[in-house]
Chain A
Amino acid sequence: MKDIISVYDFSKSDFDELFELTDKLRNMPIFPKILKEKTVALAFFEPSTRTYLSFSKAAINLGASTIGFSGEEGTSIAKGENLADTIRMLNNYADMIVIRHKFDGAAKFASEISEIPVINAGDGKHEHPTQTVIDFYTIYRNFKNIDGLTFGLMGDLRYARVVNSFLRALTRFKPKKVYLISPPQLSARKEILEELNYPYREVIDYNEVIEEIDVLYVTRIQKERFPDESEYEKVKESYVVDMNLVSKMRKDAIILHALPRVNEISREVDKTPQAKYFEQASYAVPVRMAIFHKIVGE
């Protein structure tokens, strides 16, 4: 395996291997230093502290050193220099590049320029494949399986890249049904829906389907993804997971969220047995370690 740009870069057996590898890594007292003497470049042209830190920690755990930029620094590099030149420079310093960028398709473009592997850590509203592996690993931990489950994706299904990656990754499995719960302005993109090979239905009112759902995946409605701010104001709080909603859910259902959240899940829900988003966040480092493993082929 070389680049990881889309979840389509993973086959069903890649997912299975990643789950097993993550299980193994989580139980290891000392991690194998498979990235010893290697340098991982973290090129975050768009800031994301959580993702940056988890990739960085995963690399360090495996013996790598890291270089890179994030936050303000990353944003100003994105403004000042063209992407291709920055990637060429990083090729001189590193053995692989983890890239986060605000433009759709930036990771794929970077991979075409780069001689070393590129991992997409989120490109615009396009994809965020490693987050999806974390999401699916959490589901696998809770249900032992992905097949046969009923999913509900709720919130911004149009501009949230985790949704694209999640829906695409489900094509590698056999979900029973997928409900796409969103206001019409934020419905999933048609080109993504056309790729899906499993039953799905678009729903506006979650009350119609909430009792059937095993996995409720909640997304943040992000202001910066909207071309128009007034559109954002109209829909920003369309869906809030509160105690009332949780009371309608099945006892063994789980709620996932890629975090950080704003108001879409109320804090009192955190203590319910369905809330699994902190558990999900705790898998970020081991899953990304497993992904590094696969890239270096160990």
Chain B
Amino acid sequence: METVNKKELIVSKIKNGTVIDHIPAGRALAVLRILKIAEGYRIALVMNVESKKMGKKDIVKIENKEVDEKEANLITLIAPTATINIIRDYEVVEKKKLKIPDVVKGLLKCTNLMCITNNDVEAMPEFKKISEKPLKMKCVYCDTVIDENEILKQILGSKS
């Protein structure tokens, strides 16, 4: 639930859309990248606000877009602590359960340069989850395994 405190009031409540809370500090932009938010959406980003649970956290509010199951699951890859609330008419109507996705298509690149997905414009990279703790995903084409560090590196960019 959103607890309305003074700090969050910098961002007004949204009528319809999605509020993603408890994002690890600094990863809000990466969340938007995962959601492939295109131009035209009204978005509110709050970064590095105090959180009782997490010390610092980010919050993302997207107007007029309801994050779906698949998108919610992708968010776990970089923000496992996130909570996702769907808002309709100012009310939280649904809290999305987050589950590490079994299959990730398109988002991650295979680290094997000789993989077909790195060499054919039509071959879209696809990974299957093989373990959660530690997180490991395997390329369905060449069986190369990528781990959590690699996944974070790819989504967050090299700075992390």
Contacts and interface: CB of A to CB of B under 8 A. Distances in A.
Contact of A106 (B112, B113, B116, B139): B116
A103 B144 CA distance: 13
A191 B114 contact: no
Nearest to A192: B143
Given A82-B120, A84-B122, A108 B143 contact: no
Nearest to A6: B143
B104 to A, nearest CB: 16
B138 interface: yes
Interface residues of A, number: 22
B99 to A, nearest CB: 23
Contacts of B114: 102-104, 124-125
Contacts of A101: 116
Interface in A96-119: 101-106, 108-109, 113
A83 interface: yes
Contacts of B144: 104, 191
B145 A109 contact: no
Interface in A62-107: 82-84, 101-106
Please indicate which of the listed interface residues B138, B142, B144 has the most CB atoms of chain A within 10 Å of its own CB: B142
Interface in B132-155: 138-145
A126 B120 contact: no
Contacts of A190: 145
B37 interface: no
Interface string A145-184: 0000000000000000000100000000000000000000
A189 B139 CA distance: 14
B116 A109 contact: yes
B143 A82 contact: no
Contacts of B119: 103
Contacts of B43: none
Given A102-B114, A103-B115, A104-B115, A83 B142 contact: no
B117 interface: yes
Contacts of B115: 103-105, 124
Interface of B: 112-117, 119-123, 138-145
25 contacts: A82-B120, A82-B121, A83-B120, A83-B122, A103-B115, A103-B119, A104-B112, A104-B115, A104-B116, A104-B142, A105-B115, A105-B116, A105-B117, A105-B140, A105-B141, A108-B141, A109-B117, A109-B123, A109-B141, A125-B114, A126-B142, A126-B143, A189-B143, A191-B138, A227-B113
